[in-house]
């Protein structure tokens, strides 16, 4: 759990806010407590989306969806405000690690425990489908291992079966590596698509590896459509069941209830020794304590690194991410400019831990060597937080740079040119960790802790993406999107301003705001949080 920052609320509705559980492109999730002491996960829509009709429509749909489902396998909706800003909802607080965290923490699950987890999740999925709802983003980080058993979380992109084909033609919604082939090639989604994602999730649970490997979004999508999963090391009987769940033909996948029957498990999952060890290893959160001290507003361009991601992630982080929903079009690049993917460290896959859902182009022509390339754009940055000279000067990766007013060694320095009142940045532009863009009254910094932050001329924070991680970078893309990527090129936050036509510019304004505009029309603008 993260400590509260100065910009965080202390109360939402009747809930006293204790700490931050997570954040993403759609909003932030806090640990709250009612006056009577009941804990809850309180999700609040981000300030810059409070007036966005599309974002609010999705948020209201999520509230409506959760309101129709009440079972032992999902966190129930408790309360919500969908008519008056700030918009928020509260769900049951489900303590426990995610499945992704558990695998990274303790390694692949033993087969009997994996079978029990699969049966429990299939039973929950069957109940969700009975209510006419598709989850559409089942993955290891959307499964909480609670003291009472596994639970599905994050219904941020869930829809009723009647709405399943409303997705824009040519796009697939979900998390790469877990999106069913029919969704990638035709944008179609149904109950069988959830079964596919469940099978892939179980493959990860039993191997600790990304079932379709690492790589660009296009590469993973190509493998999903044309290749089989990595099931090495899984006993034949279990591998056969997982293969059936992930069959390329959705009509040949078993229904969730049939999966429960195939598992034939008599394991009491919460009493399984390995399950109990996983629960015991997860750090606890004392919801009875007073809120932690509010973090002061940073006064220097480098904020102190925030705590690492807690093993407890509440139901938010939509696209991605999930997250963080991070619905973003990622424009294709020439092959020679595609960045190198950083290998994932550790036994488990950090790639799974905070991956949001992503809207990716349909790979209908995926047979032509991943023709629908959705590569990350790698660009040169403008500066480094080592110093703040003319933003037009280019920085080296070690943080050294020389602005227009700097003099060579042995020469008398000249007076530096004043910073411009505003700065207009064309795509493509990348800010690696520690690099920045700067105008007279605002500085946009991609911090080394993974947070993209704007500061005023006095070093006070104005706005941030609320992302955290090592070697993150921010990319202003040719498709009009400003995106924060992890070290392995997974998007975790975006402005959601994507357009196939492109042509937008990124503006650092004299009033301290950051904006994305096209032909004078404002597509995105920061709101001050400091």
Which sign does the torsion angle of CA 278, 179, 212, 357 carry? negative
Query: Distance of CA 57 to CAs 26, 69, 95, 161, 324, Å?
Result: 12, 19, 29, 17, 16
Between CA 179 and CA 329 the distance in angstroms is 16
Helix (H) or strand (E) holding 89: strand 88-92
Q: Which residue among the candidates 8, 101, 137, 513 is catalytic per the annotation? A: 137
Strands (E), 332-456: 358-361, 423-426, 429-431, 435-438, 443-446, 452-455
Give CA angle at 247 (243, 253), nearest 5°.
95
Which letter does DSSP use for residue 323 in this model? Answer: T
Strands (E), 415-487: 423-426, 429-431, 435-438, 443-446, 452-455, 461-464, 473-476, 482-485
Which sign does the torsion angle of CA 417, 419, 423, 429 carry? positive
Instruction: Check if 286 is active-site.
Output: no
Between CA 77 and CA 398 the distance in angstroms is 48
**Residues with Cβ within 8 Å of residue 138, at least 6 apart in sequence:** 121, 125, 152, 178, 194, 197, 198, 201
Between CA 530 and CA 517 the distance in angstroms is 23
Nearest by Cα to 118 from 178, 205, 207, 248: 205
Nearest by Cα to 491 from 467, 514, 524, 507: 467
How much is the CA Rg of the chain, to the nearest whole Å? Answer: 23
Catalytic residues: 137
């Amino acid at each position: 759990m993260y400590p509260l920052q100065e910009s965080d609320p202390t109360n939402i509705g009747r809930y006293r806010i204790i700490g931050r559980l997570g954040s993403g492109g759609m909003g932030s999730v806090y640990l709250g407590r009612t006056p009577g002491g009941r804990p809850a996960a309180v999700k609040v829509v981000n300030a810059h989306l409070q007036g966005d009709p599309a974002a609010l429509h999705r948020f209201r749909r999520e509230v409506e969806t959760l309101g129709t489902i009440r079972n032992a396998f999902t966190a129930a909706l408790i309360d919500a405000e969908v008519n008056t800003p700030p918009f928020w909802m509260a769900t049951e607080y489900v303590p426990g690690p995610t499945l992704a965290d558990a695998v990274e923490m303790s390694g692949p699950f033993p087969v009997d425990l994996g079978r029990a987890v699969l049966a429990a999740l299939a039973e929950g999925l069957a109940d969700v489908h009975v209510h006419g709802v598709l989850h559409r983003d089942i993955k290891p980080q959307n499964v909480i291992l609670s003291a009472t058993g596994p639970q599905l979380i994050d219904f941020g992109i869930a829809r009723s079966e009647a709405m399943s084909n409303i997705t824009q033609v040519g796009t697939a919604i979900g998390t790469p590596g877990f999106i069913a082939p029919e969704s990638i090639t035709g944008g179609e989604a149904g109950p069988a698509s959830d079964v596919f994602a469940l099978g892939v999730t179980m493959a990860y649970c039993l191997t600790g590896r990304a079932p379709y490997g690492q790589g660009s979004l296009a590469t993973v999508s190509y493998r999903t459509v044309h290749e089989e999963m990595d099931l090495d090391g899984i006993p034949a009987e279990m591998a056969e069941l997982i293969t059936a769940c992930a069959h390329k033909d959705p009509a040949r996948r078993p229904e969730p209830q049939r999966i429960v029957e195939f598992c034939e498990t008599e394991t009491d999952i919460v009493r399984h020794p390995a399950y109990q060890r996983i629960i015991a290893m997860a750090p606890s959160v004392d919801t009875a304590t007073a809120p932690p001290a509010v973090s002061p507003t940073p006064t220097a361009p480098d904020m102190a690194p925030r705590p690492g991601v807690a093993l407890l992630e509440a139901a938010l982080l939509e696209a991605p991410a999930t997250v963080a929903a991070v619905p973003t079009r990622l424009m294709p690049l020439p092959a020679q400019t595609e960045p190198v993917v950083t290998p994932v460290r550790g036994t488990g896959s950090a790639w799974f831990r905070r991956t949001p859902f992503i809207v990716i182009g349909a790979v209908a022509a995926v047979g032509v060597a991943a023709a629908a390339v959705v590569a990350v754009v790698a660009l040169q940055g403008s500066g480094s937080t080592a110093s703040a000279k003319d933003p037009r000067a280019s920085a080296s990766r070690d943080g050294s740079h020389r602005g227009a007013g700097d003099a060579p060694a042995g020469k008398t320095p000249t007076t530096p040119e004043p910073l411009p009142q505003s700065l207009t940045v064309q795509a493509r532009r990348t800010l690696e960790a520690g690099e920045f863009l700067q105008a007279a009254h605002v500085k946009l910094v991609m911090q080394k802790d993974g947070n993209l932050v704007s500061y005023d001329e006095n070093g006070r924070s104005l706005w941030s993406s609320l992302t955290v991680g090592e070697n993150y970078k921010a990319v202003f893309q040719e498709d009009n999107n400003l995106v924060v990527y992890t070290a392995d090129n997974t998007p975790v936050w975006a402005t959601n301003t994507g357009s196939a036509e492109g042509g937008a510019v990124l503006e650092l304004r004299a009033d301290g705001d950051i904006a994305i505009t096209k032909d004078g029309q404002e597509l995105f603008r920061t709101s001050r949080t400091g």
